Amino acid sequence: MPENNAEDIKQAVLSRYSAHAQRRLAALKETGGASCCGTPTTVDEAMNSSCCGETENLDSLADANVAGALYSAEELRNLPEDVLASLGCGNPTAIAGLQEGESVLDLGSGGGLDCFLASGKVGVKGKVVGLDMSADMIQLARRNAGRVGAENVRFRLGEMEDMPFDDASFNVIISNCVINLSPDKDAVLGEAHRVLKPGGRLRASDIVWAREPTEQQRADLASWTACVAGALTEADYVARLRAAGFEDVRVEPKEGTAPDSALFSAYVSASKRG
């Protein structure tokens, strides 16, 4: 069975996540930024509400439920429901050890949720930059930034295989279920190492195979966009990180992973030599 072309994979991924952002933007335009109940709500209110009946509002509620499962109630407490467009598989800010004044890059920043959480940790002296390949996601994230009032967050259109940043620009790189979507992970990890400052760290949540997937599983383009077909095995992930120059490499299953899981969410940690 022939392998998928890298450009076909990128376009399929772009189409899927741009469509998600377009639906969110269309719903927000229709409601004027209000929730399905008439006024912007917090995640707690969204998850407990029974008034959401339209398709776009069900999408919003689904986003709130995903976020509620991945993040603590304290983290989400003051965030409006309409910024919770989480498509991730974990909470990279929980393992990043972010400190006040640090510079943070979020790969595949989507609607910006992880950027906003990082923003509060690095404070006004720090900065957070979200990188995404979808212009629609960038538009959504910038709109969300205005809702949140995150003045130290910026969003940049670009690809993680060729990051539009100078060498040694960031203290920390985070990513939430995005590296697996790239058809050229060596380029992503190489670029991550390049833009990190000496002593910088990579902290990502990602999907990982416990065993090598079949050729048929790798060839399924829809499965690529669903974060499955392009995922690496644990050993391969570790090897590629080390080949990119990273040290202190760890790929650890997320808490609660079943021992016999063929595919699981993992936290990925690595550091650049100081």
Q: How many CB atoms lie within 10 A of CB 7?
A: 9
The CATH number linked to 237 is: 3.40.50.150
100 found inside a domain: yes
Q: How many CB atoms lie within 10 A of CB 23?
A: 17
Q: pLDDT value at position 223?
A: 92
Of the two residues 80 and 60, the one the predictor is more confident about is 80
Q: What angle do CA 69, 33, 78 make, to 5 degrees?
A: 45
Helices (H) and strands (E) in the chain, counts: 10, 8
Q: pLDDT value at position 170?
A: 98
Q: Are 171 and 197 in contact (CB under 8 A)?
A: yes
User: Tokens at residue 179, please?
Assistant: 């590296």
Q: Are 174 and 201 in contact (CB under 8 A)?
A: no
Q: Are 16 and 223 in contact (CB under 8 A)?
A: no
Report whether pLDDT(60) > 70.
no
Which range among 46-60, 77-91, 220-234, 255-269 shows the weakest confidence by mean pLDDT? 46-60
pLDDT, tens only, 81-127: 768 766 789 999 999 999 999 999 999 999 999 999 999 999 999 99
Q: Are 274 and 206 in contact (CB under 8 A)?
A: no
Report whether pLDDT(41) > 70.
no
Q: pLDDT value at position 65?
A: 57
Mean pLDDT of 221-232: 93
Report whether pLDDT(206) > 70.
yes
Share of the chain above pLDDT 70, in %: 85
Report whether pLDDT(182) > 70.
yes
Mean pLDDT of 224-249: 96
pLDDT, tens only, 124-174: 999 999 999 999 999 999 999 999 999 999 999 999 999 999 999 999 999
Residue type, 101: G
User: Tokens at residue 97, please?
Assistant: 């050890």
In the predicted model, what is the mean pLDDT of the chain?
Answer: 86
Residue type, 1: M
Q: Are 13 and 224 in contact (CB under 8 A)?
A: yes
Report whether pLDDT(46) > 70.
no
Q: 3-state class of 221 per DSSP?
A: helix
Share of the chain above pLDDT 90, in %: 69
The residues with which 106 forms a beta bridge, in sequence order, are: 130, 174
53 found inside a domain: yes
Q: Are 107 and 179 in contact (CB under 8 A)?
A: yes
112 found inside a domain: yes
pLDDT, tens only, 61-86: 445 456 778 888 888 888 877 687 66
Q: How many CB atoms lie within 10 A of CB 154?
A: 15
215 found inside a domain: yes
Max intra-chain CA distance, the chain: 53
Q: Tell which residue, 215, 200, 213, 178, has the closest CA to residue 247.
A: 200
- Phi and psi angles of residue 101, each rounded to the nearest 5 degrees, phi first: 90, -5
User: What is the total count of domains within the chain?
Assistant: 1
- pLDDT grade for 32, boundaries at 50, 70 and 90: low
Q: pLDDT value at position 70?
A: 87
1 found inside a domain: no
Report whether pLDDT(189) > 50.
yes
Report whether pLDDT(53) > 90.
no
Domain of 129, in residue numbers = 6-271
Q: How many CB atoms lie within 10 A of CB 248?
A: 12
254 found inside a domain: yes
Q: Are 267 and 204 in contact (CB under 8 A)?
A: yes
Residue type, 266: A
Report whether pLDDT(180) > 80.
yes
Q: pLDDT value at position 30?
A: 76
Report whether pLDDT(27) > 60.
yes
Q: Are 173 and 268 in contact (CB under 8 A)?
A: no
